[in-house]
Amino acid sequence: MKLHHQIFIAMLLAALAGSLTHPDTTLLGLPLLASYDLIGSLFINALKMVVVPLIVTAIIGGIVGVGDGKNLGRMGLKTVALYLTTSLMAVLVGLMVVNLFTPGVVDGTPAKDMLGLAKDTDNVLASIEGRGAGDFTEILKQMLPPNLIAAAANGQMLGLIVFSLLFGFFLRTEDSPAGQSLRNIIEGIYQVIIKITMLIIRFTPLGVFGLIAATVTRTGLDAIEPLAWFFLTVILALAFHALVFMPALVFLLARRSPLRHLQAMTPALLTAFSSASSAATLPLTMDCVQKRSGVSKRSSSFVLPLGATVNMDGTALYECVAAMFIAQAYGMDLSLATQFMIVITALLTSIGVASIPAASLVAITVILAAIGLPAEALGLILVTDRVLDMFRTAVNVWGDSVVTVLLARSEGEEQVLSLPVAEMEAQAPERAHIGEDQG
């Protein structure tokens, strides 16, 4: 059976198992929720275990493979431009939809009281601790961490990326025998990490089962009800961005079938959905983009790790909708200037938030502060956060993969999405070196 079918079935079984389980149910003396958690954590841990070496070797190898400085500059500029434009579009879609639906206003009255705003500030603030950078100066500081190992250990990938970019840049022109050996070693590590990744990927259905079953057991579906309008607004906006705008780019700019790309990305998207972490999903994202969509290693190996960290369309959109919703619920006057402020802050903070579950929340407190609302207003949206996190993370990963396809096509890669997924996968070994001699 195909991997994404296995994952689908695992998700359905997990939803069933989760809805039959209460947090304290046991089976033969075994606490079920703890067992789901264990399975899910083992899978996520395994993925996270490969993320640091994968990011470092993929980026360094990617830069070395791109060849001369001119190519590098051109691809770098295109990547940044595409990431920024698509994220901005996502925020604007969110802004449009939230203005259209005004989920924070019920029957003409701000919904603050109706929603029973959580008063417990400590709880709200504790739930966002350690979620990564909020404001812009923090992002800059993260880019140059004083201690690289500590940054990597704390999941602050931005520093690791900047270091790897620099390392790759100088290793590229290092002509000594030592430089050559180093290039070989890095390529070797990358190949081995990919093999470990492939082993972990085989366990995806099991891991996804654990993650979803635990979430459904814990959250249930009732949590969504009081915030149904807000929930729907976010889902609609995400769906428009992911299923209309991004596919249009694939169709018009890359001249390829968006449906085929979606099909190719299914295992990664389902994992993103289940894990709510684009960093943990990165190994799968790279695997799908390269093997199933046929993008060369040259075009994907520094674009994807970078995207997983800085390009978060779903997150940027969510931040904007959530902040607007809270402001509406508080009965704030949403002038154009305020909305502009929300758009810019959502865009910038989406670059800095960590690619881990619930990371958006910290960014939303920054936006709230910027427009003069208290951080505890976040309490309004905590109940729905986990489920919406799953959707926005899938959109984050989808956004990265679409930009990678656009870049690869603009670099003249004919093979991208040119065959059905199964054939593409079968021919993956033959494509391994596409683009490497273009430098």
Per CB under 6 A, residues contacting ligand ASP are 276-278, 312, 315, 353, 355-360, 389, 392-393, 396
- Nearer residue to ligand ASP within complex by CB, 287 or 319: 319
- CA 198, CA 202: separation in Å to the nearest integer? 7
Q: What's the closest the beta carbon of residue 279 comes to ligand ASP, in angstroms? A: 6
Residue 214 near residue 276 (C-beta atoms within 8 A):
no
Smallest separation, CB 91 to ligand ASP (Å): 13
Measured from the CB of residue 277, what is the shortest distance to ligand ASP in angstroms? 4
Nearer to ligand ASP, 127 or 415 (CB): 127
Quote the least distance from Cβ 83 to ligand ASP, whole Å: 14
Q: CB-wise, 254 or 282, nearer to ligand ASP?
A: 282
Q: Which two tokens stand for residue 15?
A: 């939803």
**Cα distance between residue 184 and residue 188, in whole Å:** 6
CA distances from 438 to 71, 254, 299, 387 (A): 9, 20, 11, 44
Q: Name the minimum Å distance from CB 363 to ligand ASP.
A: 8
C-beta of 132 vs 258, nearer to ligand ASP:
132
Distance CA 122, CA 198 (A): 42
Point out which residues pair with 27 in neighbouring strands: 30
Half-sphere exposure of 93 (CA within 13 A, CB side): 26
Smallest gap from residue 393 Cβ to ligand ASP (A): 4
Q: How far is the CB of 356 from ligand ASP (least distance, A)?
A: 5
Nearer to ligand ASP, 89 or 312 (CB): 312
With beta carbons less than 8 A apart as the criterion, state whether 64 and 297 touch. no
For ligand ASP, the closer CB: 345 or 355: 355
Q: Quick one: angle between helices 32-66 and 177-202, nearest 10? A: 150
CA angle 74, 80, 84 (to 5 degrees): 145
Q: 297 or 392, CB closer to ligand ASP?
A: 392
Minimum CB–partner distance for residue 348 and ligand ASP (Å): 14
Write out the two tokens for 120: 């417990």
Q: Please identify, using beta-carbon distances, which residue of 205 and 399 lies nearer to ligand ASP.
A: 399
Concatenate the DSSP letters of all residues of 170-234 into one string.
Answer: HHHT--SHHHHHHHHHHHHHHHHHHHHHHHHHHTHHHHHHHHHHHHHHHHTTGGGGGGHHHHHHH
